Amino acid sequence: MGTPELVPERVDPPASVGRPEATVVPLALTVNGVAYAEGVDPHRTLLRLIRDDLGLVGPKEGCDDSECGACMILLDGQPVNACSYLALQAAGRSVTTVEGLGTADHLHPLQRAFLEAGGIQCGFCTPGMLISAAALLAADTQPSDEAIRDALAGNLCRCTGYQPIFAAVRQAAAELRAEDAPAS
């Protein structure tokens, strides 16, 4: 009789054991005016879909926990943290990222004002700041100082350049008011 095996030979389980098959469900949404039809994992966040699947890297991943606002996008015109939204929650809805605000040749007044007022340092918070400010000015081109602060309260700037950002929003609001004013 041979020596009993004290340590049985290790046998790796098949790769599928313990790992449920990835589920992919269909999702249709509009991003920056373009219709997309994607198959997504139901657990995928909207931020991952936007950045990794659609290649729109304007929205940033900062805290990944609804704290910093770097991932802010507009969902049917309302600012939301894309890191804390499931992609499926955007089904049938309209998403706007910072890429959809303006183009290099035709900047949104906020983008121009941020540049002119020095509202950008490292730039990490800028897409989220622009989105929050755009939502504010779409609803009110004459916001009070308090309303501007409230609108930006969910956006953190690690470079602490809040004053130029605040000034840029005021400047853009003035520009939008002038655009809206009837020609004399």
Give yes or no for a contact between 135 and 78, defined as CB atoms under 8 angstroms apart: yes
Tell me if 24 contacts ligand FES by CB under 6 A.
no
Q: Which of 43, 158, 163, 177 binds ligand FES (CB under 6 A)?
A: 158
Please give the Cα distance from 36 to 38 (Å, whole number): 6
Tell me if 61 contacts ligand FES by CB under 6 A.
yes
Tell me if 63 contacts ligand FES by CB under 6 A.
yes
* Residue 32 DSSP class: T
Number of residues located near ligand FES, criterion CB under 6 A: 22
- Closest contact distance (angstroms) between CB of 50 and ligand FES is 12
Which residues ranging from 71 to 90 are in contact with ligand FES (CB under 6 A)? 71, 81, 83
> Structure tokens of 10?
């290790």
Give yes or no for a contact between 17 and 82, defined as CB atoms under 8 angstroms apart: no
Burial (CB < 10 A; 0-12, 13-18, 19+), residue 121, is middle
- Closest contact distance (angstroms) between CB of 139 and ligand FES is 21
Given the rule CB under 6 A, which residues bind ligand FES? 61-64, 66-71, 81, 83, 120-125, 157-159, 161
